[in-house]
Chains A and B, each alone.
Chain A
């Protein structure tokens, strides 16, 4: 595709529900990042993949958060037993090179609201 796509664009979940957020990066991009952006804040790093390998997950806030990229392209961020504090926009970004020092291309984000 022409850019990074994410689905769903909006998700409303009841507290305690599990959710899965999908990211389709730009074809051929090596690096994939997940960020969490709260209202009025900048994006906060969650996790990083280089191809299918999850090289950094230090930003995941709890063990309820899990991400995968099994074939080195599409990635899924899963949140188990959602809590109200999980409400945020979840941004996915991809980059043509490895590492975080080059331009990242962001998807439109998934706005998660936990009731």
Chain B
């Protein structure tokens, strides 16, 4: 199984602050990258795909660094509702087992 690593946190961040966390992957041939969000005792939901050129969706920005084999997620103007676990997901091809989830980074936004 291809390795995907994340800092588990928790990251405790005051409301309104900017927070960023990375995810490293070991397979240089990885093809697709995603960030999923998982609330406590809920199912994962796609937050955003990560494109080679980087992409932004409102307060969220995702970037891919193929040379260093990591993806990042930056959250600006954090809200209390951003508190969740953020799962890094990497697809390396070769079938369904080529999709690997990280263990997640736990983010807590404090009032």
Return A60 CB to nearest CB of chain B, in Å: 11
> A-B pairs with CB below 8 Å: how many?
57
A36–B100 alpha-carbon span in the complex (Å): 12
Interface centre among A40, A55, A58, A99, by most B CB within 10 Å? A99
A106–B104 alpha-carbon span in the complex (Å): 16
Which chain B residue shows the least CB distance to A106? B43
Contact A108 B43 (CB under 8 A): yes
Chain A neighbourhood of B99, CB < 8 A = 45, 100-101
A107–B97 alpha-carbon span in the complex (Å): 19
Per-residue 0/1 for A55-73: is the Cβ within 8 Å of any B Cβ (1 yes, 0 no)? 1101100000000000000
A44–B99 alpha-carbon span in the complex (Å): 9
Point out the residue from B43, B96, B102, B104 that lies within 8 Å of A107, measured CB to CB: B43
Contact B46 A103 (CB under 8 A): yes
Per-residue 0/1 for B98-111: is the Cβ within 8 Å of any A Cβ (1 yes, 0 no)? 11111110000000
Contact B95 A101 (CB under 8 A): no
Task: Check B87 for interface membership: any CB of A closer than 8 A.
Answer: yes
Task: Check B66 for interface membership: any CB of A closer than 8 A.
Answer: no
Q: A101-B31, A106-B43 are in contact. Are A48 and B95 (CB under 8 A)?
A: yes
Point out the residue from B91, B95, B104 that lies within 8 Å of A42, measured CB to CB: B104
Chain A neighbourhood of B42, CB < 8 A = 108
Contact A56 B103 (CB under 8 A): no
Chain A neighbourhood of B8, CB < 8 A = 40
Contact B96 A48 (CB under 8 A): yes
Contact B91 A101 (CB under 8 A): yes
15 cross-chain CB contacts under 8 A: A42-B87, A44-B101, A45-B96, A45-B99, A47-B96, A48-B95, A48-B97, A56-B96, A56-B97, A58-B97, A100-B99, A101-B91, A101-B99, A103-B34, A104-B46
Interface set of A (CB-CB < 8 Å, partner B): 31, 33, 35, 40-45, 47-48, 55-56, 58-59, 91, 99-101, 103-104, 106-109
The 7 closest A-B CB pairs, nearest first, are A48-B96, A42-B101, A106-B43, A100-B99, A56-B96, A100-B96, A42-B103
